[in-house]
Amino acid sequence: MSVDKKPLVGDLRAGVVVVLGRARLSFTQVLRSEEFHGQDGPDQFGSLSLSLAL
């Protein structure tokens, strides 16, 4: 079984960062256009990150 890929894919990214003292919390949301012919719709995913300065 094989799937035909689309030659061009688009990404839309948006995010926020909150800094409290030495802590940094960031969230990013990604919307990606369809990558394959026959796909039901675009993909969405997010990322959450917490970092601390030492």
- Whole-model pTM: value is 0.73
* Three-state DSSP state, 51: strand
pLDDT at 10: 97
By the 8 A CB rule, do 16 and 27 touch? yes
**Full residue range of the structural domain in which residue 18 is found:** 11-52
Structure confidence by residue, pLDDT tens digits, 1-52: 788 999 999 999 999 999 999 999 999 999 999 999 888 999 999 999 999 9
| Overall domain count for the chain | 1
Residue 37 located in a structural domain: yes
Cα–Cα separations (whole angstroms), residue 15 to 29, 33, 37, 41: 6, 18, 29, 22
pLDDT at 28: 98
Quote the CA–CA distance of 40 and 32 in Å, as a whole number: 12
pLDDT at 38: 86
pLDDT at 1: 76
